[in-house]
């Protein structure tokens, strides 16, 4: 087996940063009224700016595959061209369509010859799963390199017109219809963008990072769906898919909007994250004290203090000074967040040879976790 290194990192954040006060101008008012939950959610998540693939005139500027293509091209130069890519592995929770796959659409925009492609599905962990596919391919010698990506274009999923038919339907049933909090919640959390890594079997570049290990685990056997799209959650917790509803119900129920069961989120997301770290540190015979930089993908700063408390109680505490996050500046980019976070850390110039970096990504869809340890070489 070969060693695997992250030799290049890039990101693409569309247009300009959008402040909290501009969000409803971009996404639109629902039922002509300002959201009652917006200020509560923003106060808790503490996100100050995020990025949308929407220009100042309300026009969509990029779809998801185009965002990803931009990030991939930013990896390349005269020494490594898009035509040198052997494997393209692209993760996202917001593909532009059901079929063809996300990676196929990115490859179509790149127009860089015959290559292998891979499109892991899922939510935030799909970006890490894309990375793991590339990691394993290079490690076993199947390919000499792999470009792996994580991206989201959720702004179009959160625009007010997505919910209009549902609210018109509700107006026939009640005097003052409002959007359910499990749908409104995510409108103030999510951001657009893409990140990409080049993986190779040799430590090239100014700051190569050796991937020591990658691990993933799911708790779907224990817990029902928490974040979902393309279906509706019934009272017994069963997730009924869109394909089992008549087509005239799709817009009335906003079946394709992203939704979050916030009660389940608060109950399990941190608890299972700590259980995952405990299992992995034991498996790899290491201590949390060995970590120089901890990059946790969290959707809201609301969870930061509680996560630290849970880690401390669980014996996997990592000191505050070793945490690195950029949620406040770029928002929650889902599958792309860990890529964009690592890019910013590397670009900061803070890293030194031997530093160990823990990448930790939770996925609330049905509670899965993906973790990787990388070392500066």
**Same-domain pairing of 61 and 105:** yes
**Same-domain pairing of 181 and 51:** yes
Helix (H, G, I), strand (E, B) or coil at 234: coil
Note whether 215 and 374 are within 8 A (CB). no
Q: Which domain holds residue 372?
A: 213-221+259-376
CATH number for the domain that contains residue 273: 3.40.47.10
**Same-domain pairing of 47 and 64:** yes
Strand blocks (E) in the chain: 5-12, 18-19, 49-50, 87-92, 116-118, 145-152, 193-200, 209-218, 227-228, 231-233, 239-241, 259-260, 293-296, 356-363, 368-376
Q: In which residue are the tokens 């590397």 written?
A: 346
Structure-token pair, residue 185: 């919640």
Nearest Cα to 196, choosing from 361, 344, 71, 332?
71
The pTM for the full model equals 0.93
| pLDDT values of the chain reduced to their tens digit, one per residue, 377 residues | 999 999 999 999 999 999 999 999 998 887 777 887 788 889 988 999 999 999 998 899 999 999 999 999 999 999 999 999 999 999 999 999 999 999 999 999 999 999 999 999 999 999 999 999 999 999 999 999 999 999 999 998 888 777 766 656 656 555 444 556 667 778 888 999 999 999 999 999 989 999 999 999 999 999 999 999 999 999 999 999 999 999 999 988 889 888 889 899 999 999 999 999 999 999 999 999 999 999 999 988 989 999 999 999 999 999 999 999 999 999 999 999 999 999 999 999 999 999 999 999 999 999 999 999 999 99
**Same-domain pairing of 192 and 309:** no
Q: How far apart are CA 349 and CA 336, in angstroms?
A: 21
Structure-token pair, residue 59: 């026009």
Query: Do the domain assignments include residue 177?
Result: yes
**Same-domain pairing of 163 and 265:** no
What is the full DSSP assignment across 144-172? SEEEEEEEE--GGGSSGGGGHHHHHHHHT
H/E element, 318: none
Final residue belonging to a domain, choices 184, 208, 232: 208
Helix (H, G, I), strand (E, B) or coil at 88: strand
Strand blocks (E) in 106-159: 116-118, 145-152
């Amino acid at each position: 087996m070969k060693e695997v290194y992250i030799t290049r990192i890039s990101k693409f954040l569309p247009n300009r940063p959008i402040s909290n006060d501009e969000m409803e101008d971009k996404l639109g008012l629902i039922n002509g009224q300002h959201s009652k939950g917006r200020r509560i959610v923003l106060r808790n998540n503490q996100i100050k700016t995020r990025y949308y693939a929407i220009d100042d005139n309300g026009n969509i500027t990029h779809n998801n595959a185009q965002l990803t293509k931009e990030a991939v091209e930013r990896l390349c130069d005269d020494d490594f061209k898009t035509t040198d890519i052997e494997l393209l592995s692209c993760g996202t929770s917001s593909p532009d369509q059901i079929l063809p796959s996300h990676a196929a659409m990115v490859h179509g925009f790149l127009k860089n010859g015959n290559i292998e492609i891979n499109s892991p599905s899922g939510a935030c962990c799909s970006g890490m799963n894309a990375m793991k596919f590339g990691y394993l391919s290079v490690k076993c010698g199947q390919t000499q390199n792999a470009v792996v990506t994580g991206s989201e274009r959720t702004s179009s999923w959160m625009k007010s017109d997505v919910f209009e038919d549902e609210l018109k339907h509700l107006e026939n049933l009640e005097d003052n219809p409002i959007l359910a909090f499990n749908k409104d919640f995510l409108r103030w959390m999510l951001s657009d963008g893409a990140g990409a890594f080049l993986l190779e079997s040799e430590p090239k570049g100014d700051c190569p990072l050796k991937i020591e290990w990658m691990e993933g685990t799911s708790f779907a056997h224990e817990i029902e769906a928490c974040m979902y799209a393309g279906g509706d959650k019934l009272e017994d917790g069963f997730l009924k898919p869109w394909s089992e509803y008549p087509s005239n119900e799709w817009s009335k129920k906003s079946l394709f909007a992203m939704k979050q069961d916030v009660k389940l989120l608060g109950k399990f997301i941190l608890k299972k994250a700590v259980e995952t770290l405990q299992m992995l540190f034991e498996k790899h015979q290491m201590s949390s004290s060995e970590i120089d930089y901890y990059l946790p993908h969290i959707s809201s700063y609301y969870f930061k203090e509680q996560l630290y408390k849970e880690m401390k109680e669980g014996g996997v505490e990592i000191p505050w000074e070793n945490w690195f996050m950029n949620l406040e500046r770029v928002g929650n980019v889902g599958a792309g967040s860990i890529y964009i976070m690592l890019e910013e850390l590397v670009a900061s110039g803070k890293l030194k040879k031997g530093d160990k970096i823990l990448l930790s990504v939770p996925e609330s869809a049905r509670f899965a976790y993906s973790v990787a340890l990388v070392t500066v070489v």
